[in-house]
Chains A and B, each alone.
Chain A
Amino acid sequence: MSKQEIEIVVNGTRCEVKVNATATLADVLREELGLTGTKLMCNEGECGACTVLADGVPILSCMTLAVDAANKKITTIEGLAEPATGKLHPLQQIFVEKSGMQCGVCTPGMILTAKALLDKNLDPSENEIRDALSGNICRCGNYHRITECVLIAAQQMREAK
């Protein structure tokens, strides 16, 4: 057996892929589907860089077997901008404007984790943001600006409502 055919829905598109049975979701996203926005860093669940959303919930794609992602709606950083216009999500936009990233490797995971938080709570405190992002490591140490970006994005999203 060791190769398995799976169907996953990524950023609204249904994809059929034939993968090693033990392939992780991160492997499939990056190697099979070419969605390299999802970063693979520690590859052992410690750093949060590989975070994607499964049915809106942040999960570690390096610690998720692709077979377990079948039947779930996966959102990667590539799926965040408006598909028709390419308009960036407010979180993406503010990260660009306010230098929410330095080297950028943690950014997709940070933004997706922050999005899941804002989807649940559009008015989080700074502590709630830090708590939600506590599993996403920024090796550049840019936490202060990242937190600030999420606060501003939340405010903008509240105002736009």
Chain B
Amino acid sequence: MNGIDVFSPTSLDEAFSLIKQQGRKAMIIAGGTDVLVKLKNNKITADCLINIKGIKKLDALTYDRESGLRIGALATLSAIECAEIVKEKLPVLAETVKKIGTPGIRKSATVAGNLCNAAPSADMAPLLMVLDAKVKLAWENGEKIVSINQFFKGPGETILQPGQIITEIQVPNLPPSSSVTYLKHSRVKGADLAQVGVAVMLQMAGDTISDIRIALGAVAPTPIRAREAEKILLGKAATEKLIIDSGMAATREASPINDQRSSADYRREIIVILVRKAVNSAMKQIRGES
């Protein structure tokens, strides 16, 4: 990593003008738990790092009754894990964060960085997808808000253009009578990437599933929504058979690979199991059984 300059802007404007000055080989770094590893292993190259950690207020974590939770780009996983407002309003977010890395990694790593790194197995992604989160991007002359469902392009690839920075992630409030679950299947309970991750948001009207979102991680080039699987359960009273059918549909929407963590076949089997577990667990939570 020798010979790489590091600039530490203290405002977004300064960051944007530095990026412009330095050209395309400027790499943005915040928590650094992915960028530094990739630089050390020569997986990426950069002429300079724009270290945005010193930009004020970008670590804000705020909640508003109308618009929900806003996670600043520099909010660390550990900050989410410990924030009372998260535990109160969206405990599933705090629980999911705990499944990522180790306490030391969570102290540096940010939610925004987890998304920018765009690993197919990123744990935050399926969860934020079923929460219908939005990502706020900013650049020198503008900003826009995009759905997280449009954010990922491929392994390690996002819609972010050079010069664009995520400034905030917006997580709307959950609808009434709903529940969200994220299940991660990995080889060990500690620091390990997901072999399969499944997130489910379920809303019930009586015995009927009135809304459902299912997202899968680590089983396709990007985290994906399993919309066919959702259709099978939407508007129905969930039976065990329908739930398994939904899980089977999810396996057909996935395109898992064989790698050192598991075979594609194993991943498909786990998808069915996790969808079933997640849907059942969400229904139980809504009924107040757990």
Q: In the bound complex, do residue A22 and residue B1 qualify as a contact, i.e. CB atoms below 8 Å apart?
A: yes
- Report the separation of the CA atoms of residues A65 and B29 in the bound assembly, to the nearest whole angstrom: 10
Segment among B59-67, B98-106, B274-282 that sits at the interface with chain A? B98-106
Chain B contact residue count (CB 8 A cutoff): 27
- Which residues from chain B sit less than 8 Å from chain A, CB to CB? 1-6, 8, 29, 32-33, 36-37, 39-41, 49, 51, 53, 101-105, 107-108, 190-191
Q: In the bound complex, do residue B4 and residue A65 qualify as a contact, i.e. CB atoms below 8 Å apart?
A: no
- Which residues from chain A sit less than 8 Å from chain B, CB to CB? 1-2, 4, 20-22, 24, 43-46, 48, 51, 57-60, 62-65, 67-68, 113, 131-132, 134-135
**Taking A63-B36, A63-B108 as contacts, is the C-beta distance between A1 and B101 under 8 angstroms?**
no
**Shortest beta-carbon distance from B95 to chain A in Å:** 14
Q: In the bound complex, do residue A44 and residue B40 qualify as a contact, i.e. CB atoms below 8 Å apart?
A: yes
Q: In the bound complex, do residue A21 and residue B6 qualify as a contact, i.e. CB atoms below 8 Å apart?
A: yes
User: Which one of B2, B32, B39, B102 has the highest number of Cβ atoms from chain A below 10 Å of its Cβ?
Assistant: B102
Q: In the bound complex, do residue B4 and residue A22 qualify as a contact, i.e. CB atoms below 8 Å apart?
A: yes
List, sorted by A's number, 12 A–B pairs whose CB atoms are closer than 8 Å: A21-B49, A22-B1, A22-B49, A44-B40, A44-B41, A58-B104, A60-B104, A60-B107, A63-B36, A63-B108, A65-B6, A131-B103
- Report the separation of the CA atoms of residues A131 and B40 in the bound assembly, to the nearest whole angstrom: 29
Q: In the bound complex, do residue A65 and residue B102 qualify as a contact, i.e. CB atoms below 8 Å apart?
A: no
**Taking A22-B39, A44-B37 as contacts, is the C-beta distance between A4 and B6 under 8 angstroms?**
yes
Q: Which residue of chain B has the shortest Cβ distance to A46 in the bound complex?
A: B191
- Report the separation of the CA atoms of residues A2 and B32 in the bound assembly, to the nearest whole angstrom: 18
Residues of B near A65 (CB, < 8 A) are: 6, 29, 32, 36, 51
User: Which one of B33, B39, B41, B107 has the highest number of Cβ atoms from chain A below 10 Å of its Cβ?
Assistant: B107
Q: In the bound complex, do residue A2 and residue B8 qualify as a contact, i.e. CB atoms below 8 Å apart?
A: no
Residues of A near B105 (CB, < 8 A) are: 45-46, 60, 63, 135
Q: In the bound complex, do residue A48 and residue B102 qualify as a contact, i.e. CB atoms below 8 Å apart?
A: yes
Q: In the bound complex, do residue B103 and residue A59 qualify as a contact, i.e. CB atoms below 8 Å apart?
A: no
- Report the separation of the CA atoms of residues A107 and B103 in the bound assembly, to the nearest whole angstrom: 17
Q: Which residue of chain A has the shortest Cβ distance to B192 in the bound complex?
A: A46
**Taking A22-B39, A135-B102 as contacts, is the C-beta distance between A60 and B108 under 8 angstroms?**
yes
Residues of A near B53 (CB, < 8 A) are: 68
**Shortest beta-carbon distance from B25 to chain A in Å:** 14
Q: Which residue of chain A has the shortest Cβ distance to B189 in the bound complex?
A: A134
Residues of A near B4 (CB, < 8 A) are: 2, 20-22
Q: In the bound complex, do residue A2 and residue B103 qualify as a contact, i.e. CB atoms below 8 Å apart?
A: no
**Shortest beta-carbon distance from B4 to chain A in Å:** 5
**Contact partner, B108, options A20, A22, A64, A113, Cβ 8 Å:** A64
Residues of A near B29 (CB, < 8 A) are: 65
Residues of B near A4 (CB, < 8 A) are: 6
Closest 6 CB pairs of A and B: A135-B102, A21-B6, A22-B1, A60-B104, A44-B37, A135-B104
**Shortest beta-carbon distance from A150 to chain B in Å:** 15
Residues of A near B6 (CB, < 8 A) are: 4, 21-22, 65, 67
Besides A45-B102, A58-B104, 11 more A-B contacts (Cβ < 8 Å) are: A43-B40, A44-B36, A45-B36, A46-B105, A46-B191, A60-B104, A64-B32, A65-B51, A67-B51, A134-B102, A135-B104
